[in-house]
Structure 1
Amino acid sequence: MVEELAQADDAVAACVGDAAWALAEDELVAALDAAHRLEQRLAAVKLALVREVDGRGTAVAQGASSTAVWLRERLRLTIPAARRLVDLAACVDAAPTAVRDALAAGAVSVEQVRVIADTVSTVQTSAGPEVADNAVAVLVDWAGQFDPMLLRKLSTRILDHVAPDIADAAAAAALDAEDARATRDRHLTISEQTNGRLRLTGTLDAETATLLRAAIDPLSAPAGPDDNRCAGQRRHDALADVCRLALRANELPDSGGDPAQIVVTTSYDGLTRQLSTGVLDLGLRLTPDTVRRLACDATILPAVLGGTGQVLDVGRQRRLISGPLRRALVLRDGGCAFPGCDRPPRWCDAHHIHHWADGGPTNLDNAVLLCGHHHRHIHHNDWTVRLGDDSHPEFIPPAWLDPDQLPRRNHYHRRT
């Protein structure tokens, strides 16, 4: 096998140097088909080798903690890619012989094999091995016509084609099996990165996926014509808004005897009336701008620290904008006051027009409702906000956006 793979490697290497632009159109398409078929055949060989390495315990014998870790070092893969490779190898190994043969012949892809294997396993449980064998033939034929996603959709009704007399009862059993599989496979991984950032990966079951979409889809829409965030950034900010709402609702379980909260420690210069950089209770540092933004709508707990950081005195905490004052603010603004934004009040922070850290008072004339996105936007860009002659907020765009800097208002929430 090693010699044959070396010969195949030489043949592929010879193709790498060939100029694709010199091929006629029919030759170009034929070469693409041949390359794809070869890729599937090589995948069959590679997965068989991975399965054998895993089955023999080669990785552990060579000092690795798992086959995935060994593959990461040997093939220079990421851990998720290595785990997926081990998982696919097991899936192909468990697939019926006809499916493995189809993969080896380049007739199906690895992802199609996964779909077929899952379907056949469900059919065998609900209808028996004979019906499962018939399903394999149909599914392999369909794989030659449909991509993995459409193949999975079609596979949910495979019994209509191979065993119509038991299709309805088996469909119910298949639904139960899929639900059990979704419950088993659900997970969320939170991986810490540098500077306090997190990477989220995982698989949600159908119910949770529906809840997530219902919560973040309305918040993921562009906030206006000036919103330059990409779709991924908008979803990120929408998730942040959902977390803020959950914290504001005061219905989360206590953590260590205290309500769920973010704790930021910062110093305050009485001469310049400026907040400095902050430190989260996890030890991560925040910029002064981030601290100032968080202080707009937060519980402030003054504390006097000694030179070594010892707590000498702790004052009484006070909510900056809450209760009757926030209700009055909601009645006045009706939601995010930034021009063109339709976010409702529950998604909004109370922002001090003249920053509290700079001595700004806590009253209705110095407050405005802003959603999470526009709260960040105001703090980090050149927009300014003020109250007009009618005591409603208006926003002055930066000169690069509007040389005349004409005030703009939000018309979504106006009641008159």
Structure 2
Amino acid sequence: MMEGLAQAEATVTACADSAAWALPEQGLIAALDAAHRIEQRLAAIKLALIRELDCRGTPIAQGASSTAVWLRERLHLTVPTARRLVDLATTLDAGNPGVRQALADADITLDQARVIADTVTTVESAAGSAAADKAVGLLVEWAGQFDPTLLRKLGTRILDHVAPDVADRAAQAALDAEDRRAARDRHVTISTLTDGRLRLTGTLDTETAGLLRAAIDPLTAPTGPDDQRSPGQRRHDALADLCRLSLRTGELPVHGGEPAQLVVTTSYDNLGRQLGAGTLDTGFDLAPETVRRLACDAAILPAVLGSTGQTLDVGRQRRLITGPLRRALVLRDRGCAFPGCDRPPRWCDAHHIHHWADGGNTSLTNAVLLCGHHHRHIHHGDWTIRPGNDGHPDFIPPAWLDPEQVPRRNHYHRRT
């Protein structure tokens, strides 16, 4: 396989260096068709490789919390994209050889393979393997005419063609399966932009959509005839109001030993000037007027810094890393410090680098933020941590993973 992939890569590289403008129109179309077929064949190979790595447990052994997270780090994919690849690889390996072969033959696309695999699974549970085999052939034939969206719609009534005797009963099963897929696909993605703003995307199931509308609709109405906000701006402000209301209840779960709260950092000089410019615990700056408004609206927890940025007040030494010391740790690590992890501070535990039970003290230089998965991995794995010359933690991989044991750091939380 390695030899074949190397030859294929060399061939594709040569094609990439060729001038497309030199081809006649029919040649361009033929080249596009060929490139598309190669893409689907490679997708089948990639799914087989992902499935084998997942079955061997390689991603977990290398410190990732899941195969999807490992693929995110290795191939620079988004986690939802990586998770869909893992799910499809598992589904095709579990009993859909016809779908897998159709993809390898470039008769279907990757998205069509997902639709066909889901549909065939439903058919097999309702009418048996013989009907499922018929469904694969029919769906592959339809895939030559219809895109994935139409193919999924046609698939809801495929039993009328392959097993009409159980079609009515299976229609209900298909609806149930669609509900399960909706539950599986529910997600909200929060992407941090370079200036501190967030982009929200996602898909809510029907119940959650109803809850959100019930909570947010009363807050989105214009405040009066002079309200010039757009509908999108009103929904944004309503979401902010919901967050404020939730924080004020005091009933949100504790994260990492701290209650849910907004932390603003300011220098000692600014603190003396009645809270000048400040910085959120996410690392982004706030204008002085915003800080003053927050000070009137909520309890601001100051982390006081000196002129060179060192933390002046982190509390007294104790076994638990909480309060001011934890806030100083959040300011330094900004999230799970394990290389490649993007978990935010509120998902993290404070870990003693030199264990307390072994005589380690409770201090900023002897502490590091780790998410639950990587906290367990450090305690039970072969990785070691040591403070770097700049006070930030270095992670030393085990020799079996990196014979040179080159120190690694997390770059997901860097903001400069």
TM-score by length of 2: 0.55
Which residue in the other structure is 1:188 paired with? 188
Q: Which residue of 2 aligns with 1:10?
A: 10
- Matching of residues 393-412 of structure 1 within 5 Å: none
Pair 1:238–1:87, CA change in 2 (3 A): farther
Secondary structure, aligned partner of 2:55: helix
Equivalent-residue separation in structure 1 for 2:87 and 2:112 (angstroms)? 14
Looking at structure 2, the residues matched to 20 and 91 of structure 1 have their Cα atoms a distance apart, in angstroms, of: 38
Q: Report what 1:255 is aligned to.
A: 251
Q: What aligned pairs does 1:165-314 form with structure 2 within 5 A after superposition?
A: 165-188=165-188, 190=190, 197-198=197-198, 200=200, 202-209=202-209, 235=232, 237-246=233-242, 253-255=249-251, 276-277=276-277, 285-291=285-291
Conserved in 1, the CA contact under 8 Å of 2:246 and 2:252? no
C-alpha separation in 2, matches of 1:79 and 1:162: 36
The answer to whether residue 55 in structure 2 is matched with residue 55 in structure 1 is yes
Q: For 1:39 and 1:87, how far apart are their aligned partners in 2?
A: 19
**Greater mean alpha carbon deviation, residues 279-288 or residues 97-106:** 279-288
Q: CA deviation at 1:187?
A: 3.7
Determine the structure 1 residue equivalent to 2:128: 128
SS at match of 2:277: strand
Q: Residues 2, 185 of structure 1: CA spacing in aligned structure 2 closer, same or farther, 3 A cutoff?
A: same
Residues 134-186 of structure 1: per-residue CA shift (max 9 Å, x gap): 22222111111111122112212222332334323221222122223323443
- Structure 2 equivalent of residue 29 of structure 1: 29
CA-to-aligned-CA distance 1:194-234 (integer Å, 9 cap, x gap): 77554545442134346657968x979xxxxxx999xxxx7
| Residue matched to 1:104 | 104
**Aligned residue type for 2:153:** K
**C-alpha distance in 2 between matches for 1:196 and 1:263:** 15
Cα distance in 1 for residues equivalent to 2:266 and 2:50: 53
Bigger Cα Rg: 1
Structure 1 residue 34 displacement after superposition = 0.9
Per the TM alignment, residue 115 of structure 1 is displaced from its structure 2 partner at its CA by 0.8
Letter in 1 for 2:238: V
Question: Cα distance, 1:28 vs. partner?
Answer: 0.9
* Alpha-carbon spacing, 1:4–1:290, altered in 2? closer, same or farther (3 Å): same
Q: Does 1:156 align with 2:156?
A: yes
Cα distance in 2 for partners of 1:250, 1:66 equals: 31
Quote how far apart the aligned CAs of 1:121 are.
1.2
1:38 equivalent to 2:34? Answer no
Return the offset for 1:42: 0.9
> Residue in 2 aligned with 1:350?
none
Name the count of aligned residue pairs: 295
Tell me: CA distance 1:132–1:287, structure 2 relative to 1, closer, same or farther (3 Å): same
What letter matches 1:157 in structure 2?
R
Contact 1:94 1:117 (C-alpha < 8 Å) held by counterparts: no
| Contact map agreement 1:95 1:113 (CA 8 A) in 2 | no
Render the CA deviation track for 1:373-395: whole Å, top value 9, x for unaligned: xxxxxxxxxxxxxxxxxxxxxxx
Alignment of structure 1 residues 319-330 onto 2, 5 Å: none
Q: Does the C-alpha gap of structure 1 residues 198 and 169 become closer, same or farther in structure 2, counting only changes over 3 Å? A: same
AA partner of residue 115 (structure 2): V
1:229-251 Cα offsets, whole Å, 9 max, x none, are 9xxxx75x444222245468899
Amino acid at match of 1:53: L
User: Tell me, what secondary structure is at the counterpart of 1:188?
Assistant: strand
Whole-angstrom distance in 2 between the partners of 1:127 and 1:89: 24
- What letter is aligned with 1:147? D
Structure 2 distance, partners of 1:250, 1:53, is 42
The 3 A distance-change label for structure 1 pair 157 and 209 is farther
CA distance in 2, matches of 1:65, 1:263: 28
8 Å CA contact 2:278, 2:286 repeated in 1:
yes
Q: Secondary structure at the match of 1:43?
A: helix
CA distance in 1, matches of 2:36, 2:157: 29
8 Å contact from structure 1 (residues 96, 117) kept in 2:
yes
Q: Distance in 1 between matches of 2:199 and 2:23?
A: 44
Is 2:247–2:261's contact at 8 Å kept on the other side of the alignment? Answer: no
Query: Structure 1 pair 238/123, CA: closer, same or farther in 2 (3 Å)?
Result: farther
Q: Is the 2:278–2:291 Cα contact (8 Å) retained in structure 1?
A: yes
Spell out, residue by residue over 1:52-109, the C-alpha distance to the aligned partner (whole angstroms, 9 max, x if none). Answer: 1222233345565543454445444454444443333223323522211110110101
Q: Which amino acid aligns with 1:25?
A: E
Gaps of 5+ in 2: 222-227, 254-259, 268-272, 301-311, 314-416
**Any conservation in 1 of the 2:71–2:77 contact (CA below 8 Å)?**
yes
1:17 offset after TM fit, Å?
A: 2.1
- Aligned equivalents of 1:274 and 1:190: distance in 2? 33
CA distance in 1, matches of 2:135, 2:163: 9
Letter aligned with residue 87 of structure 2: D
Distance in 2 (CA, whole Å) between partners of 1:68 and 1:263 is 32
In the TM superposition, residue 113 of structure 1 has moved relative to its aligned partner by 0.8
**CA RMSD in angstroms, aligned pairs only:** 4.9
Whole-Å separation in 1 of the counterparts to 2:263 and 2:59: 44
TM-score, scaled relative to structure 1: 0.55
Deviation (angstroms), 1:30: 1.1
